[in-house]
Amino acid sequence: MGLGVGLIGSGYMGKCHALAWTSVATVFPDVKRPRLVALADATTELAQRQAQAFGFGRGTEDWRDLVADPAIDVISIAAPNQFHAEMAVAALEAGKHVWCEKPMATSLEDATRMRDAAKHSGRTAILGYNYIQNPMIRHARTLITEGRIGIVNHIRLEMDEDFMADPSEPFYWKSEKRSGYGALDDFAVHPLSLLAVLHGRITSVVADMARPYPERPTMDGGHRPVENHDIAQALFRTDTGASGVLMVNRSAWGRKGRIALQIFGSKGSILFDQERMNELQIYSTDDAAALQGYRTILAAPSHTPYRQFIPAPGHGLGFNELKVIECHELLQAISGNQDAHVIDFERGLELERVVHATARSAESWKWVEL
């Protein structure tokens, strides 16, 4: 019998976790099929409906029921940001493993408490940085490590979507201060997670944040001030001596799921865009002068773990499949595999430090050292 699973939150990401838990053992035969024990959501009616739809044994409106349930070994946290710390710490203290959605927490103190709880519990605790699981990102890491683009000297990181681009879009929890800084910890953490697995650590940052729409309509016909920032940008330096730019915008009309990376080195460059997530582009001065130009590599079985899903090259994986890979890496980490490809709470806290340093810099308009 596989591990018992509890899921908190059954919205966009909750469904994504449920899909991953449901299919992980089908895709990866080296893990045992998890047992979907219980699901918690804001109301009993919603929790029971979603438990039935997702194949969980029961639904409850009290997430603490899951924490107290001895049949549950691991808890997925896919509730809004402001609940992550309380839920993760309680789960870890009860001896559960934790798979928590990003951002880790809305304050550095809470993120630190989560890291400490994970350390003391000895349980596995990871964050939902699914984009690092893309086989093309793993391939980019291999190419950089092999020196295919030489010594990395400049990095551009972007994440843009347009789900908050319409000023008439009603106010909801993502615009509340208690959900975090806005685009910075909603979005920036994703390209920062990619940088963390691809190249170096950020050591200093100078930033600016912007609020394109100061207020939004409410469902009752009124207006409410927007409490955080939908746009953020920063310059940074890494411990490897590279300079970089980070630009994130969740009100960028036309951008649907763009996470764009440009990594420049002394003998080439690598480009990636999540909107074309099954492609990687590389330019290398190793190519003969007459052949120089960007080469597009299509995802294929040679890019681990693509083969687990599809034996044919160029057919492509999707967003939800990254979560299945992440679920597999979580199970590897739980079983003691030190090489599991995850961002645990220790590494997650490093990313949070960058986020908070960036916000401090945006307030002071000064470089901040990490």
Minimum CB separation from ligand NAD for residue 15, in Å? 8
The 3 state secondary structure assigned to 31-62 is CCCCEEEEEECCCHHHHHHHHHHHCCCEEECC
Sign, CA dihedral 316-319-325-328, equals negative
Residues 47-66 that bind ligand NAD (CB under 6 A): 63
Q: How far is the CB of 13 from ligand NAD (least distance, A)?
A: 3
Selected from 4, 10, 34, 232, the binder of ligand NAD by CB under 6 A is: 10
Stretch that binds ligand NAD, among 73-81, 233-241, 244-252, 342-350 (CB under 6 A): 73-81
Q: Is the peptide bond before 305 cis (omega within 30 degrees of 0)?
A: yes
Q: Which residue from 5, 18, 40, 355 is in contact with ligand NAD, where contact means CB under 6 A?
A: 40
Cα–Cα distance, 328 to 30 (Å, whole number): 9
Closest residue by beta carbon to ligand NAD: 11
Task: Rule CB under 6 A: say whether 14 interacts with ligand NAD.
Answer: yes
**Contact between 41 and ligand NAD per CB under 6 A:** yes
User: Does 101 interact with ligand NAD (rule: CB under 6 A)?
Assistant: yes
* Shortest Å distance, C-beta 20 to ligand NAD: 11
Spatial separation of the C-alpha atoms in residues 187 and 196, rounded to whole Å: 15
**How many residues touch ligand NAD (CB under 6 A)?**
21
State which H helix or E strand residue 236 sits in. strand 231-238
Would you tell me how many other CB atoms lie within 10 Å of the CB of residue 223? Answer: 11
- Tell me how far apart the alpha carbons of residues 302 and 309 are, in angstroms, rounded to a whole number: 12
Q: Which residue lies nearer to ligand NAD by CB, 128 or 265?
A: 128
> What is the x/- site pattern for ligand NAD, positions 159-188, by CB under 6 A?
---------------------------x--
Q: Which is nearer to ligand NAD, 63 or 283 (CB)?
A: 63
Shortest distance (Å) from residue 12 CB to ligand NAD: 4
Contact pick of 42, 94, 235, 370 for ligand NAD (by CB under 6 A): 42
Restricted to residues 113-132, the positions that interact with ligand NAD (CB under 6 A) are 128, 130
Q: How far is the CB of 330 from ligand NAD (least distance, A)?
A: 13
Do 264 and 222 form a contact (C-beta atoms < 8 A)?
no
Among 6, 34, 59, 80, which residue interacts with ligand NAD (rule: CB under 6 A)?
80
- Residue 103: asked if its preceding bond is cis (omega within 30°), the reply is yes
CA distance 286 to 279: 20
CB neighbours (10 Å) of residue 246?
A: 25
Interhelix angle 319-334/12-27, rounded to 10 degrees, is 70
Q: Interface with ligand NAD includes 365 (CB under 6 A)? A: no
Residue type for 369, please?
E
| Residue among 190, 239, 181 nearest 210 (CA) | 181
Interface mask toward ligand NAD for 182-221; x: CB under 6 A: ----x-----------------------------------
Alpha carbons 362 and 300: distance in angstroms, whole number: 41
Applying CB under 6 A, does 11 fall inside the site for ligand NAD? yes
Q: Is 34 in the site for ligand NAD (CB under 6 A)?
A: no
In the complex, the residues that contact ligand NAD under the rule CB under 6 A are 8-14, 40-42, 63, 78-81, 83, 101-102, 128, 130, 186
